[in-house]
Structure 1
Amino acid sequence: MAIFITGGARSGKSGFAEAYAMNLAKRGIYVATSQIWDDEMKERTDHHRVSRERSGFAWQTIEEPYDVAELLVKLEAAAVVVGEGRDHDHDHRRPAVIIDCLTLWLTNQMLRLGEFDANDGESYRYDSGALSAEVNRLIDAVTTYTGPLLLVTNEVGSGIVPAYPLGRRFRDEAGRMNRKLAACCQQAFLVVAGIPLDLKAHAFQLEEE
Structure 2
Amino acid sequence: MNTGTQATDHTLVLGGIRSGKTALAETVATAWDRVTYVATATAGDDEMAARIDRHRAGRPGHWGLIEEPLHLGEVLQAQARSTHPPGLLIDCMSLWVSNLMFAGEEVFAAERARFLNSLANYPGPVAIVSNEVGLGTIGMDPLTRRFADELGWLNQALAARCHRVVLSLAGLPQILKGSGF
Taking structure 2 as the reference length, the TM-score comes to: 0.89
Matched residues in 2 for 1:136 and 1:198: separation? 27
Q: Tell me, which stretches of 5 or more residues in structure 1 are unaligned?
A: 85-93, 114-126, 203-209
Query: Which residue identity does 1:183 align to in structure 2?
Result: A
Matched residues in 1 for 2:51 and 2:139: separation? 23
Q: How does 1:149-160 map to 2 (within 5 A)?
A: 149-160=126-137
Matched residues in 1 for 2:40 and 2:90: separation? 7
Q: Tell me, which stretches of 5 or more residues in structure 2 are unaligned?
A: 1-8
Which residue in the other structure is 1:10 paired with?
Answer: 18
Matched residues in 2 for 1:145 and 1:95: separation? 10
Q: 2:160 aligns with which of 170, 173, 183?
A: 183
Q: 1:44 aligns with which of 43, 51, 56?
A: 51
Matched residues in 2 for 1:131 and 1:71: separation? 16
Matched residues in 2 for 1:185 and 1:201: separation? 9
Matched residues in 2 for 1:201 and 1:60: separation? 27
Larger-gyration structure (1/2): 1
Which residue in the other structure is 1:205 paired with?
Answer: none
Question: Would you say the 8 A contact 2:14–2:166 is kept in 1?
Answer: yes
Query: Which residue identity does 1:50 align to in structure 2?
Result: A
Matched residues in 1 for 2:109 and 2:131: separation? 18
Q: 1:27 aligns with which of 28, 34, 42?
A: 34
* 1:125-183 deviation per Cα after TM superposition (whole angstroms, max 9, x unaligned): xx2x6533422221111100010111111112311211111001110011001100110
Matched residues in 2 for 1:34 and 1:28: separation? 18
Q: 1:97 aligns with which of 88, 95, 112?
A: 88
Secondary structure, aligned partner of 2:151: helix
Matched residues in 1 for 2:46 and 2:20: separation? 22
Query: Which residue identity does 1:194 align to in structure 2?
Result: G
Which residue in the other structure is 1:166 paired with?
Answer: 143
Q: How does 1:103-118 map to 2 (within 5 A)?
A: 103-113=94-104
Which residue in the other structure is 2:67 paired with?
Answer: 63
Question: Would you say the 8 A contact 1:2–1:149 is kept in 2?
Answer: yes
The offset of 1:49, in angstroms, is 0.7
Which residue in the other structure is 1:73 paired with?
Answer: 77
Query: Which residue identity does 1:49 align to in structure 2?
Result: R
The offset of 1:29, in angstroms, is 0.3
Secondary structure, aligned partner of 1:37: coil
Which residue in the other structure is 1:117 paired with?
Answer: none
Secondary structure, aligned partner of 2:18: coil
Which residue in the other structure is 1:88 paired with?
Answer: none
